[in-house]
Chain A
Amino acid sequence: MSTIVVGAGLAGLTAARRLHDGGDDVVVLEAQPHVGGRTRTLRERLQYGQVADLGASWIDIGQDKLLEYCAQFGIAITPQVALFPTEPDGRLCAASPLRATLMVGDRRLPDEERDTVADEVRAALATVPPLPTEPVQAWASRAGLSPLAHRVFCSQSGYNPVHEPSQIPMSMFEPPHVGRACWMMADGTDSLAQAIGTGLDVRLEQPVRLVRRGRGGLVVETDTDRFTARDVVVATPVTPTLRIGFDPVLPPWKIDALLATPMTQGGKVIGQYDHGAEITRAFGLSAMSDGPISLAWTRPVGPDDSVVVLGLLADRGDGVLRDEERCLDALDRFVAAATGLRPARLAGLVQDWTQEQYAGGVVSVLLGDFPRLPSLLAQSVGPVHFAGEHTAEMWATGMDGALRSGERAADDVLRRRRVRSRGPAPRP
């Protein structure tokens, strides 16, 4: 075969699809028994055939590559929503998410109190302009936010991008670049990966352990098999990439770049409840809290007035994320506080991305593309090419970035072929 793609997440499948469509002979090796990587969807755990998106959920306006792929592959999307209310003047700023349903502890803040907090943050953004690279928590302190405003403003980092507020630059929040107009994939996030992968030669449960140069090309070794190819596209997340052996050893600049790109740690809690219409109405666009679940939102109401609520949790090392009961209990209390109801939980599950050995975390920490490592992470090392959200020049850490990186890696392979096929210069 001519190319092996390591990893059947969105990036790997996109690279494989582009190469396949260009006439290349491609095999995709995937460690897990399923495709989709961090866009995985479970279809058996909830009632009424409702889908549970374990990883990525949202498509945002401006993610044009992702929108283009959804159109191309006929992926149905849910009705358009805004994730956060706008300011009274119709604009969106870093304070706007605080105007969503807001819980402090197990108490829902009355709308007036909530808007006072949001107004305080908005005023601070104007009077103490943040530096783009300033950590969120550092700015909140420098700006002198009141303890309540400080706490809820910082807790946004728990969902965007599931990390600590001290590790996120203000450019992630101000100006906001997500939440204005968003959609979910109606049949589950992994429907895009399934569609892109259809017709490709994807070998499941083939974790790659070693990529080495052999006679006539590259040899890729899994636990059970050995494959050879002219080029390899490594489309695994940062941590799993550091777990693959390379012979010859990857150059220092590549390993340094990977080591300088840790992954955020956290997971998702998903519950299905009755009283779906009331929960949806009470949540409004989305609901956030300063507790373990930083943001939760609903999918469109399903059969028998059921609804799926999805919540994001950053891993604080306190054991909450490892304990399914505690997570689901936290979601129950979150829903109860937001709605004033005690809806019955029909089903529930927790996905801990920290513990997933073939993920190693939620997303790379290239937040706001700072400190400018994606282009280094993207560069090929001879016949070894790299894809993945962390290598994207734009929307790094998102599905859109994964797609962009896959296309770019496929182009890297083809460009290398073009350059090589010219052969030596003709003699005069």
Chain B
Amino acid sequence: MDRKHRDPETVIVVGAGLAGLTAACALAAAGADVTVLEARDRVGGRTFSVRDGFADGQHGELGAELVTVDYTALTTLCADVGVALTEPVWIERPDTHDDETPLEGYLAEGRIVVGGELLTDSRFAAVDDEVRVALRDTPPAAHEVMEQWTRRAGLSALARGAIAGIGRMPVQYDPFQIDTHYLTTAHTGAVRRIAGGAQRLAEALARGLDVRLESPVHTVRQAGGGVLVGLEDGSRLHARQVVVAVPAFVLPTIGFDPPLPATLVGALTSLQRASGGKVVAQYAEGDLVRAALSQPVFADGPVNTAWVSNHDVTGGPAVVSGFVCGTQRHVIESDETAFAALDEVVRLAVGHDVTRLAGHRKSWTADPWALGMGVTAHQSARSSLVAQFATPERRVHFAGDHTEVELAGTMESAVRSGLRAADEVCRLPGRLSLDEINTKLVRA
């Protein structure tokens, strides 16, 4: 059937994060009548840029921020909606050889904090050597977790501390959860950021869409050729199809009718959660902070990774974001401990005391619409999990960074999943009545 001859498809998208907004934009462009329901008072989900209290109109990132060369869908989308990306910055050592692992690429003198000290000179050289020998002589198995490997390889306490931040950086898991391919094969290389803040992309996508904020979804019921979406305030909206684009831990908070399949619920409850959040602060000593932290600084303490979040800004103060995860996440749960932990890493990297002008912190675990920083299933188990997460239930489709095998847990997989879900919606045929079949189909 030609879609033009039918009423526009009505679609409700649940969640105005990158996945939901990408889907909504693509559907609107295809002529669908789209409503986006968002629980929070803002769009962007786990992309969340903050400016309040920061001098010179600078921003910090409390959520996702990096864009790598693999992010083809996101880069294209940014170009389509007129959102600029920054110039790239190398976050591994720029002189990393092709045959070196990411772990070796991140091990850089003056960028590793262990036990409250910056690793330099002979101490750094010894650790660098120890880690390289361990990688060569006792390489991690593909399915081994980082902590088991460091114990099996017999790494010293100093070397384990030196790589504790590097290992936690990619997906914010504790060492006992980290997939070793992040140490051995998953190079990041050069990264860009979204100019002016990662949330800009979500805001650009939302422009022109019917996005209803502060509208948490309570139920999703399929009946009679359509879907009835119930909001927490008791109101109901009807659509022919629904795209549910909420984080993996939020999905089972929604009452589905019929209930989600047992295998899907089983997969959802067996996920390793990245718990914790971020702390960002603006420091007065802009040039010194930029010099020390434009490339990441890794630590064995609660702030596992710290870097300048607005690396394209060349003057004025500097904004640094720090990641806190897993067993250390209590540090992000109060202003005092969160800012003290970030100040300490920045002080060590810069070499002397720094002046914090303003700051923000965010525990994604405490956020009821995230319930964690995210999930990045291990390579070995990911495909069978994604098979559960990405499969539509008749008129209900699923999107989100956890629903793609490749680049799972990133802004890129969020965007790709949104595009995929939009295509799924558009492919669903309209129902032909008997009359239409009788009049339109050729009979033998």
Interface residues of A (CB under 8 A from B): 131-135, 137-144, 164-167, 169, 209-210, 212, 239, 242-247, 249-250, 252, 255-256, 259-262, 265, 316-319, 322, 354-355, 357, 360, 365, 367, 370-371, 373
B378 and A138 form a contact (CB under 8 A): no
A262 and B273 form a contact (CB under 8 A): yes
Bound Cα distance from A250 to B268, whole angstroms: 24
Kindly identify which residue among A131, A209, A242 contacts B259, using a CB–CB cutoff of 8 Å. A131
CB 8 Å contact bits of B147-182 with A (1 = contact, 0 = none)? 111111110000000000000000000011100000
Bound Cα distance from A246 to B144, whole angstroms: 10
B327 and A133 form a contact (CB under 8 A): no
Q: Shortest Cβ distance from B45 into chain A, in angstroms?
A: 17
B209 within 8 A of A: no
B255 within 8 A of A: yes
Please indicate the chain A residues that have their CB under 8 angstroms from the CB of B275 in the complex.
265, 317
Q: Shortest Cβ distance from B219 into chain A, in angstroms?
A: 5
Can you spell out 11 A-B residue pairs with CB atoms less than 8 angstroms apart?
A133-B266, A134-B260, A137-B252, A141-B218, A242-B176, A247-B152, A252-B380, A262-B270, A316-B366, A317-B365, A371-B269
B257 within 8 A of A: yes
Please indicate the chain A residues that have their CB under 8 angstroms from the CB of B148 in the complex.
242-246, 249-250, 255
Interface residues in B265-304 (C-beta closer than 8 Å to A): 265-273, 275-276
Bound Cα distance from A98 to B176, whole angstroms: 39
A142 and B256 form a contact (CB under 8 A): yes
A138 and B252 form a contact (CB under 8 A): yes
B143 within 8 A of A: yes
Closest residue of B by beta carbon distance from A170: B259
Q: Shortest Cβ distance from A172 into chain B, in angstroms?
A: 11
B380 and A256 form a contact (CB under 8 A): yes
Please indicate the chain A residues that have their CB under 8 angstroms from the CB of B270 in the complex.
260-262, 365, 371, 373
Task: Indicate whether A212 sits within 8 Å of B152 (C-beta atoms), given known contacts A256-B381, A316-B365, A317-B363.
Answer: yes
Residue of B144, B265, B272 contacting most chain A CB atoms (<10 Å): B265
Q: Shortest Cβ distance from B214 into chain A, in angstroms?
A: 16
Bound Cα distance from A142 to B26, whole angstroms: 30
Bound Cα distance from A256 to B145, whole angstroms: 10
Interface residues of B (CB under 8 A from A): 141-145, 147-154, 175-177, 218-219, 221, 230, 249-257, 259-260, 262-263, 265-273, 275-276, 327, 329-330, 333-334, 363-366, 371, 378, 380-381
Bound Cα distance from A256 to B365, whole angstroms: 24
Please indicate the chain A residues that have their CB under 8 angstroms from the CB of B259 in the complex.
131, 133-134, 138-139, 142
Residue of A135, A212, A370 contacting most chain B CB atoms (<10 Å): A135
Q: Apart from A137-B252, A243-B176, A249-B143, what 12 extra A-B contacts exist at CB < 8 Å?
A: A142-B255, A209-B151, A243-B148, A245-B147, A256-B381, A260-B270, A262-B272, A318-B363, A319-B334, A322-B330, A354-B330, A371-B263
Bound Cα distance from A246 to B250, whole angstroms: 35
A133 and B265 form a contact (CB under 8 A): yes
Please indicate the chain B residues that have their CB under 8 angstroms from the CB of A131 in the complex.
259, 262
Bound Cα distance from A139 to B256, whole angstroms: 8
Residue of A134, A140, A165, A360 contacting most chain B CB atoms (<10 Å): A134
Please indicate the chain B residues that have their CB under 8 angstroms from the CB of A367 in the complex.
269
Closest residue of A by beta carbon distance from B148: A245
B152 and A164 form a contact (CB under 8 A): no
A138 and B260 form a contact (CB under 8 A): yes
B151 and A210 form a contact (CB under 8 A): yes
Q: Shortest Cβ distance from B326 into chain A, in angstroms?
A: 10
B262 and A133 form a contact (CB under 8 A): yes
Bound Cα distance from A169 to B259, whole angstroms: 12
Please indicate the chain A residues that have their CB under 8 angstroms from the CB of B365 in the complex.
316-317
A134 and B253 form a contact (CB under 8 A): no
Q: Shortest Cβ distance from B336 into chain A, in angstroms?
A: 10
Please indicate the chain A residues that have their CB under 8 angstroms from the CB of B149 in the complex.
245
Please indicate the chain A residues that have their CB under 8 angstroms from the CB of B371 in the complex.
164, 166
Bound Cα distance from A243 to B326, whole angstroms: 14
Closest residue of A by beta carbon distance from B330: A322
Closest residue of B by beta carbon distance from A258: B145
Task: Indicate whether A169 sits within 8 Å of B333 (C-beta atoms), given known contacts A246-B152, A259-B272.
Answer: no
Closest residue of A by beta carbon distance from B378: A259
B176 and A317 form a contact (CB under 8 A): no
Bound Cα distance from A166 to B256, whole angstroms: 12
Bound Cα distance from A212 to B138, whole angstroms: 13
Q: Shortest Cβ distance from A187 into chain B, in angstroms?
A: 32
Q: Shortest Cβ distance from A244 into chain B, in angstroms?
A: 7
Please indicate the chain A residues that have their CB under 8 angstroms from the CB of B257 in the complex.
142
A141 and B327 form a contact (CB under 8 A): no
Please indicate the chain A residues that have their CB under 8 angstroms from the CB of B141 in the complex.
249
A317 and B150 form a contact (CB under 8 A): no
Bound Cα distance from A252 to B270, whole angstroms: 16
A135 and B265 form a contact (CB under 8 A): yes
Bound Cα distance from A357 to B147, whole angstroms: 13
Bound Cα distance from A354 to B378, whole angstroms: 22
B252 and A167 form a contact (CB under 8 A): yes
Closest residue of B by beta carbon distance from A128: B257
Q: Shortest Cβ distance from A381 into chain B, in angstroms?
A: 13
A244 and B151 form a contact (CB under 8 A): yes
Bound Cα distance from A360 to B147, whole angstroms: 14
Please indicate the chain A residues that have their CB under 8 angstroms from the CB of B327 in the complex.
354-355, 357, 360
Please indicate the chain B residues that have their CB under 8 angstroms from the CB of A265 in the complex.
275
Closest residue of A by beta carbon distance from B219: A141
Closest residue of A by beta carbon distance from B381: A256
Bound Cα distance from A365 to B252, whole angstroms: 15
Bound Cα distance from A135 to B268, whole angstroms: 10
Closest residue of B by beta carbon distance from A255: B143
B176 and A370 form a contact (CB under 8 A): no
B266 and A371 form a contact (CB under 8 A): yes
B143 and A252 form a contact (CB under 8 A): yes
Bound Cα distance from A246 to B270, whole angstroms: 23
B333 and A322 form a contact (CB under 8 A): yes
Kindly identify which residue among A142, A259, A365, A371 contacts B145, using a CB–CB cutoff of 8 Å. A259
A166 and B249 form a contact (CB under 8 A): yes
Please indicate the chain B residues that have their CB under 8 angstroms from the CB of A143 in the complex.
255
Please indicate the chain A residues that have their CB under 8 angstroms from the CB of B219 in the complex.
141-142, 144
A365 and B151 form a contact (CB under 8 A): no
Please indicate the chain A residues that have their CB under 8 angstroms from the CB of B273 in the complex.
262
Residue of A249, A259, A260 contacting most chain B CB atoms (<10 Å): A259
Q: Shortest Cβ distance from A12 into chain B, in angstroms?
A: 19
Closest residue of B by beta carbon distance from A140: B255
A318 and B253 form a contact (CB under 8 A): no
Q: Shortest Cβ distance from A126 into chain B, in angstroms?
A: 17
Q: Shortest Cβ distance from B185 into chain A, in angstroms?
A: 17
Closest residue of B by beta carbon distance from A372: B266
Closest residue of B by beta carbon distance from A371: B266
Kindly identify which residue among B254, B266, B333, B380 contacts A138, using a CB–CB cutoff of 8 Å. B254
Bound Cα distance from A209 to B154, whole angstroms: 9
A-B residue pairs, 3 tightest by C-beta: A245-B151, A141-B255, A317-B365
Please indicate the chain B residues that have their CB under 8 angstroms from the CB of A250 in the complex.
144, 148
A317 and B266 form a contact (CB under 8 A): no
Kindly identify which residue among A247, A260, A357 contacts B381, using a CB–CB cutoff of 8 Å. A260
Q: Shortest Cβ distance from B227 into chain A, in angstroms?
A: 14
Bound Cα distance from A142 to B251, whole angstroms: 13
